[in-house]
Amino acid sequence: MSVVGGYVVLHYGWRAACVAVGLPGIAVAILIKCLIEEPPRGQADRAAAARAGAPDAAPAAPGPAPFSVRSEVRELAAVARALFLSWPAANILIGLTISSFASYGAWVFIPAYFNRAFALDFATIGVVLGLAGSVPVALGTLLGGFVTDRAGARGGQWYALVPAAGLAMATPLYMLAISLPGWQSAAWLLAAAGFFQYISLGPTFAVVQNVVGVRRRATATAFMYVCLTLLALAGGPPFTGWMIDRLAEVRFAHPGSGFLTDVMAALGGARGTAGAASATFKSSCPGGVGSAACAAALAQASREGIIVTFGLYVWAAVHYGLGAIGLDGQMRSAAEADLAPSPAAQVSSR
C-alpha cells in the first residue's frame, strides 16, 4: 500500500491516494466474510485445558445471556476494572498507547521528511519506506510472539518485559536513523528499529486477551482500540505536526541554534522569542514554502520534531516494565476464573 500510495500521490495527488489505498480494504472484508469460518467460542481454551490434563475443566462456553442494559453495563465495568484499575494491565495499556502515539505521530511525517531532507519524490519514498516497514516489521512481530511464549512459560511477567526491551532497543535506532545524512542508511536503520519496536505487538495483544475471561475478550480488545484511536491516532500526528511547526519557526529565526535550544524554545521556554519567530516564519515562508532558508528550516524541524516524538518510546518502555509487576498473578487469576465451574453447571451436576 505504501508503494501504491506513493505512486498515486506523485501523479494524482493525496486525495486520490487515500481512495486508492482504502478501496482494497473493501475487497479484503468481503473475502474474509465469504472464505473464513468463525471458530467455536472457547475452542482453543478447551484444547489448552485438555493438554493440561483437565479435559472437563473447560466445558463449551454457554450462549450469551439475554440482553439487558444493566448486564451490559456490568460487563463493561468488569472489563474496565480489569484493564484500567489493575496495576499490570493498566501500565501495559498506557505503554501501548504512548508507543502508538509516537508511531502514528512520527510515521505520518517521515515521508515528508524524506522529501524535504533528501529531495526524494513520493513514488520513491513509497517504495523505500514500504520495504523498510513491511518485512522487518512482520519478522519482529513473529519473533516477539515466539520469544515471549518461550519466556512466558517461566512467568507471565515476560509478556511485559519483552516489549519493554524491544522498545528500549528501538528508540536509539529510530533517533539515529532520522539523524543520518543519507536516505539509504536512514532507511536501513528505520527497518532495524521497526523490527525491535514490533516485538512488543504480539505480547501486548496477548495480555489484553488473557487478563479477562473468555467472554470478555472482545470487549477488552474494543477498549484497547478506543485508547489507540481516541488517544494515539487522534493525538500523535497533531502533536508531531505542532512540534515541527514550532521548531521550523525557531530554526528559521535562529539557524545556528542547537537541538535542545530549539526544543526548549518550541515548547515555550522563551515565549517572547518564540512569538517573534512564529511571525517571522509565517510571513517569510507562507505554507512552509519560500526561500532556501525556509526549506532548510523545515527539513531540520521535521528531523527534530520526529526525534522528539520517537523519544516517547522510552516513556512507553518504562510503563511496560512497571506492568511486569503482578502480571503473572493477574493472568493466572483470569485463567482460573474461566476454569472454575459456573453456578449453573454446579446446580445441574447436583
Number of domains in the chain: 1
> Phi first, then psi: what are they for 136, rounded to 5°?
-60, -40
Q: Which three cell numbers stand for residue 71?
A: 448486564
pLDDT in tens, 195-254: 999 999 999 999 998 999 888 888 999 999 999 999 999 999 999 999 998 898 888 887
Our CA angle for 194, 159, 137, nearest 5°, is: 15
Question: Rounded to an integer, what is the distance from CA 115 to the centroid of its chain?
Answer: 24
The pLDDT tens digits of the residues spanning 105-123 come to 999 999 999 999 999 998 8
Distance of CA 198 to the CA centre of its chain: 9
For residue 5, what pLDDT is reported?
Answer: 72
- Whether 10 maps to a domain, the answer reads no
Distance linking the first and last C-alpha atoms of the chain: 59
Q: Does a structural domain hold residue 3?
A: no
Is residue 95 in a domain?
Answer: yes
Q: Which domain CATH number covers 239?
A: 1.20.1250
- Distance separating alpha carbons of residues 281 and 266, to the nearest angstrom: 13
pLDDT of residue 137: 93
User: Do the domain assignments include residue 21?
Assistant: no
Cβ neighbours of residue 110 closer than 8 Å, sequence gap 6 or more: 129, 178, 190, 306
Output the nine-digit C-alpha cell for 51: 493438554
Q: Which domain holds residue 257?
A: 76-119+139-342
| Residue 38 domain flag | no
Per-residue burial over 21-51, b = 16 or more CB atoms within 10 Å of its CB, e = otherwise: eeeeeeeeeeeeeeeeeeeebbeebbeebee
Closest CA to 252 of 299, 306, 293: 293
Residue 111: the pLDDT is 93
Q: What is the pLDDT of residue 268?
A: 74
Residue 256 lies in a domain: yes
Spans of the chain below 50 pLDDT? 57-58, 270-272, 343-350
Model pLDDT, residue 272: 46
Q: Which residues contact 212 (CB under 8 A, 6 or more apart)?
A: 78, 79, 82, 83, 219, 220, 334
Residue whose C-alpha cell reads 475487497 in the numeric block? 27
- 115 lies in some domain: yes
CA dihedral 67, 69, 75, 79 (to 10 degrees): 130
Q: What is the pTM of this model?
A: 0.83
Tell me, yes or no, whether 27 lies in a domain: no
